[in-house]
Amino acid sequence: MHIEAVDFFYLAMPEVTLEADGSQDALLVRVAAGGHVGWGECEAAPLPSIAAFVCPRSHGVCRPVADSVLGATLDGPDDIEAIAARVRYDSMDLLQAAHTFSGVEMALWDLLGRARGEPVWRLLGYRESTAKTPYASVLFGDTPAETLERARRARANNFRAAKFGWGPFGRTDAAADRDQLEAAREGLGPDGVLLVDVGQIFVEDVARAAERLPALEAAGATWLEEPFAGSAFEAYAELAAQSKTPLAGGEAAHNVAMARHLMDFGKIGFVQIDTGRIGGIGPAKEVADLAVARGVTFVNHTFTSHLALSASLQPFAGLAEHEICEYPAEPKPVATAFVANPLARAADGTLKAPDAPGLGVDIDLGAARDYLLDIDIRVGGRSIYSTPAI
Amino acid sequence: MHIEAVDFFYLAMPEVTLEADGSQDALLVRVAAGGHVGWGECEAAPLPSIAAFVCPRSHGVCRPVADSVLGATLDGPDDIEAIAARVRYDSMDLLQAAHTFSGVEMALWDLLGRARGEPVWRLLGYRESTAKTPYASVLFGDTPAETLERARRARANNFRAAKFGWGPFGRTDAAADRDQLEAAREGLGPDGVLLVDVGQIFVEDVARAAERLPALEAAGATWLEEPFAGSAFEAYAELAAQSKTPLAGGEAAHNVAMARHLMDFGKIGFVQIDTGRIGGIGPAKEVADLAVARGVTFVNHTFTSHLALSASLQPFAGLAEHEICEYPAEPKPVATAFVANPLARAADGTLKAPDAPGLGVDIDLGAARDYLLDIDIRVGGRSIYSTPAI
């Protein structure tokens, strides 16, 4: 097969707020080759990501992503890696390229799986898709009482695990954060899995982060996620050395090396990979292999649609011991509108990557028509991108 | 002062080739505040960089760069750092933001310097602008004979130092590369400073890179630049341990941490910073300070205009011992058209950051009118960017 077309669809809520909620818009990618279609999703700013696909070239290694993709051969997983290597080299000076290609790469796996009648996890070499324990990913409430309520709701919705993040955490003092953690633990009950995500709030201030460690330990948190900026490896390692709660990070990784460095230099215990950012499913699988070799636990990062969720489960679908998975529990309507067959949890609340060809998620773009934003980009009087008709 | 307007101008050669020549297009940034104007230049793909400034927000930390810049206070260097910190946090999920902001940040320094009647290097705390030895930055010829000719031309043009890069180097075998290195040395003469840039050609293959070490040593190269991908710290360190020729790298750094890691984990001897990529002049100065503390030599990376050249000299203008500087010796006409007063070299061939307010480079956009590309970006029927009239 040869890649015949790559189309982007930018969907958004009528109003996008300043919440740390990544499900307020979506950039879908549709790839066509050999009579088949595959779908992917960039976890990225839509407009710059589209621009990185269609922009005029700047020089030999600052070329648009399209140059490495359109017309390329797609007959097997090695072809996807060959395309990815071309993007990395020919677009090395185009920073946004990794985010753009992530959605394209997902779509290539989906297409290949559909063409072969195989789930992507099987193409990756796994024999089975193991059950994961999804955690409801929610934001801290503005008050401990709200957080308590959200934790109870998570349990009521059959989630044994929940992750609380962002909101007021880290913005005032350690006592206020302790109250938040106690509320979350109370709401989840003693057997709940409590995960904490502080969204880089301490930037690289180890002392301020360390003030929260006693309360994290007392609340029995399984991990402390992203205390620092994604590349502050030294701060991660320093905090890890004094923390009984393992650190988690990696969602900002836009290549394999960044994730590897967080493990090797940053000493994290959980590596969280967003297939919509790191370059797609192939690089995420590479990180999963590196994690296994190091005794680090792989976890997906997913805050958007079930298309992104399925894609993010594939890289560790066969790793039974890496059993926690992120699950967007309260996505905005735009993130659910285009998914015809969301991933269903089992009666015990667990979740598996689908046992269906490709990513196993069917896209109904017509159902999301109301969220579609028409984009038109003209350079030198010539249209270089215009949203396709659906 | 408050930042009233930020305008982008995308200039390009009529034909942009696949050469590794970053001077084929330019993205100029004009900032207006308090009756003053400042200019900067992104070393980046223009269209995605413009999109990162104007795009709709995706969520609280995936906001367009404009949100952190427009309307902000600009009364001193601390204000520039405060704006930069907001960009890093509020645009943390917008990968292209660092490249976009680099040009904006330069313009903020230029404006502030002009408003105060001070060169930027003085605002950075330096007392004088020291003479640098510029190297002519040219590409390896397709044949050793062409390389010999280019090396001779560099000497004839009063360059004691020259850097040869890209072209066929690393694409065939070590013997061919040895011939190239011998030709470069012959053309430069025994007292010339020979620098070698291989443009990430070995990706992370240490063995293939190591095959070139004997020839590099025999040719007396001062450094070997970018043997590997920008984040392959482990490969850098492994090669550094067996190389008598120091390694150089850093041009891909889009934040301070990446440059620090190349020094601390990658064991480079020369750290090369492009102010048009790392976030501007402030982060570049931070890297210069880190380099001094580590005994690493700071060098600018500049392959575009004299506006970018002046900006890239400021961060190490006062470091007399860090004396090599990159100098785009054969830029395309688009990179020279808009600069009214290029930086002049002294009779002995040396170069200094200008002793004039701001960056000391005057922009004549009208003179570059023929290279200007009209850009129009519409989202949901609404124009969000259109090239301003000049």
Q: B47 and A258 in contact by Cβ < 8 A?
A: no
Closest C-alpha to B296, from B274, B317, B266: B266
Minimal C-alpha gap between B53 and chain A (Å): 9
Q: In this complex, how many residue pairs, one in chain A and one in chain B, have their CB atoms less than 8 Å apart?
A: 202
ipTM of the complex: 0.95
Is B59 within 8 Å of A16 when comparing Cβ atoms? yes
Cα gap B3→B33, rounded to integer Å: 5
* Bridge partners, residue B162, by sequence: B136, B194
**What letter does residue A199 receive in the DSSP assignment?**
T
The pLDDT score that the predictor gives to residue B390 is 86
- Amino acid, res. A370: D
Q: SS3 helix, strand, coil % of chain B, rounded to 5? A: 35, 20, 40
B171 three-state secondary structure: coil
Taking CA A221 as the corner, what is the angle to CA A216 and CA A222, rounded to the nearest 5 degrees? 140
Per DSSP, the three-state class of A333 is: helix
Tell me how far apart the alpha carbons of residues B351 and A224 are, in angstroms, rounded to a whole number: 50
Answer yes or no: do A52 and B373 touch at CB < 8 A: no
Our CA-based measurement puts residue B136 at a distance from the nearest CA of chain A, in whole angstroms, of: 19
A231 vs B contacts (CB less than 8 Å): 255, 257-258, 261
Nearest to A257 among B231, B255, B381 (CB): B231
Nearest chain B residue to A96 by CA distance is B96
Q: Which residues contact B189 (CB under 8 A, 6 or more apart)?
A: B155
Does A3-118+364-386 match A123-337 in CATH topology? no
Which residues are within 8 A (CB) of A291 and not within 5 positions of it... i.e. 6 or more apart? A263, A271, A297, A298, A322
CB contact under 8 A, B58 and A24: yes
Which residues, 6+ apart, have CB-to-CB distance to B127 below 8 Å? B318
What is the β-pairing status of strands A25-33 and A3-12? antiparallel
Beta strands A324-327; A133-139: pairing state? parallel
Q: Give per-residue pLDDT as tens, A263-283.
A: 999 999 999 999 999 999 999
The beta-strand segments (E) located in chain A are 3-12, 25-33, 36-42, 133-139, 161-165, 193-197, 221-225, 247-249, 270-273, 297-300, 324-327, 375-379, 382-386
Query: If you average pLDDT over residues B44-51, what whole number do you get?
Result: 98
Q: What is the CA radius of gyration of chain A?
A: 20
Q: Which chain A residues have a beta carbon less than 8 Å from that of B21? A: 59-60
Report CB contact under 8 Å: A89, B254. Answer: no
Residues B190-228: tens digit of each pLDDT: 999 999 999 999 999 999 999 999 999 999 999 999 999
pLDDT at A329: 81
Question: From CA B232, how far away is CA B241, in angstroms rounded?
Answer: 15
Check if the beta carbon of residue A309 is closer than 8 Å to that of residue A343.
yes
Distances (CA, A) of B176 to A30, B179, B191, B192: 44, 5, 24, 22
Identify all chain B residues contacting A387, using CB atoms and an 8 Å cutoff: none
Let me know how long chain A is. Answer: 390
Between CA A335 and CA A333 the distance in angstroms is: 5
The answer to whether the CB atoms of B48 and A46 lie below 8 A apart is no
- Judge whether residue B137 has pLDDT over 90: no
- Tens-digit pLDDT profile for residues B68-123: 999 999 999 999 999 999 999 999 999 999 999 999 999 999 999 999 999 999 99
- Identify the CATH class of B3-117+366-386: alpha beta
Give the closest of A203, A254, A374 to B381, CB-based: A374
Residues 6+ apart with CB under 8 A from B4: B32, B33, B70
Q: How far is CA A15 from CA A18, A43, B57, B70, B328, in A?
A: 10, 18, 10, 21, 46
Q: Which chain B positions have a beta carbon within 8 Å of A46's beta carbon?
A: 55-56, 58
Contacts of B55 in chain A (CB under 8 A): 45-48
- Token output for A106: 């997902």
Chain B closest CA to A12's CA: distance in Å? 8
CB contact under 8 A, B257 and A231: yes
Confidence of residue B246 (pLDDT cuts 50, 70, 90): very high
A12 chain-B contacts, CB cut-off 8 A: 56
d(CA A145, CA B314): 52
pLDDT tens column, B152-179: 999 999 999 999 988 899 999 999 999 9
pLDDT for the residue numbered B144:
96
Q: Indicate the residue of A20, A51, A93 with minimum beta-carbon distance to B59.
A: A20
Mean pLDDT of the B280-299 span: 98
Collapsing DSSP to helix, strand or coil, A223 comes out as strand
Residues of chain A with pLDDT below 50 are none
B60/A19 CB distance under 8 A: yes
CB contact under 8 A, B48 and A55: yes
Burial class (CB in 10 A: 0-12, 13-18, 19+), A32: middle
Write down the residue that tokens 């409801």 correspond to. Answer: A136
Long-range Cβ contact pairs of B67-74 (< 8 A, separation 24 or more): B67/B91, B69/B3, B69/B6, B69/B101, B69/B104, B70/B3, B70/B4, B70/B5, B70/B6, B71/B2, B71/B3, B72/B2, B72/B3, B73/B1, B73/B2, B74/B1, B74/B2, B74/B3, B74/B33, B74/B34, B74/B108, B74/B111, B74/B112
Contact B290, B298 (CB under 8 A): no
Residues on chain A touching B232 (C-beta within 8 angstroms) = 257
Selecting from B50, B94, B203 the residue whose C-beta is nearest the C-beta of A45 gives B94
- A322: closest CA of chain B, how far (Å): 26
List CB contacts (< 8 A) between B166 and chain A: 60
Chain B residues with CB under 8 Å of A89 CB are 200, 203
Q: Which residues of A touch B374 (CB under 8 A)?
A: 378-381
Cβ distance of B20 and A92 shorter than 8 Å? no
Choose the mutation target among A47, A166, A251, A274 for the interface with B, i.e. most B CBs under 10 Å.
A47
Superfamily of structural domain A3-118+364-386: Enolase-like, N-terminal domain (3.30.390.10)
Strands A382-386 and A375-379: antiparallel
Asked if the model's pLDDT at residue B139 lies above 90, the reply is no
Minimum distance, in Å, between the CA of residue B262 and any CA atom of chain A:
12
Q: Determine the distance in angstroms separating the CA of A157 from the nearest CA of chain B, rounded to an integer.
A: 26
- β-partners of residue A40 are A29
> What DSSP character marks residue B195?
E
| Inter-chain CB proximity A58 and B50 less than 8 Å | no
Residue pair A324/A312 in contact (Cβ under 8 Å)? The answer is no
Under 8 Å between Cβ of B83 and B72: yes
User: pTM score > 0.90 for this model?
Assistant: yes
d(CA B312, CA B307): 9
Residue written as token pair 């050249």: B309
Q: Would you state the pLDDT for residue B330?
A: 84
H or E stretch at B293: helix B281-294
Residue B62: list chain A partners with CB under 8 A. Answer: 22, 44-45
Instruction: Say what the pLDDT of residue A289 is.
Output: 98
* pLDDT for res A139: 87
Check CB contact under 8 Å for B58 and A19: no
Phi, psi (5° rounding) for residue B31? -115, 135
Give A64's contacts in chain B (Cβ within 8 Å): 45
Q: How far is B12 from chain A (nearest CA, A)?
A: 8
In the numeric block, the tokens 């609280």 are attached to: B60
- Please report, for residues A64, A139, A275, B99, the alpha-carbon distance to residue A48 in angstroms, rounded to integers and kept in the order given: 12, 27, 18, 12
Partner-chain contact A48 B373, CB within 8 Å: no
Cβ-based contacts of A258 with chain B (< 8 Å): 231
SS3 B272: strand
Closest CA to A280 of A258, A249, A253, A319: A253
Exposure string over B132-160, b if 16+ CB within 10 A, otherwise e: bbbbbbbbbbeebebbbebbbbbbeeebb
Residue range A123-337 in CATH 3.20.20.120 = yes
Q: Please answer whether residues A358 and A119 qualify as being in contact, where contact means their C-beta atoms are separated by less than 8 angstroms.
A: yes
What are the boundaries of each domain within chain A?
3-118+364-386, 123-337
CA torsion A312-A315-A321-A323 (nearest 10°) is: 10
Mutation target vs A (from B17, B25, B49, B59; most A CBs, 10 A cutoff): B59
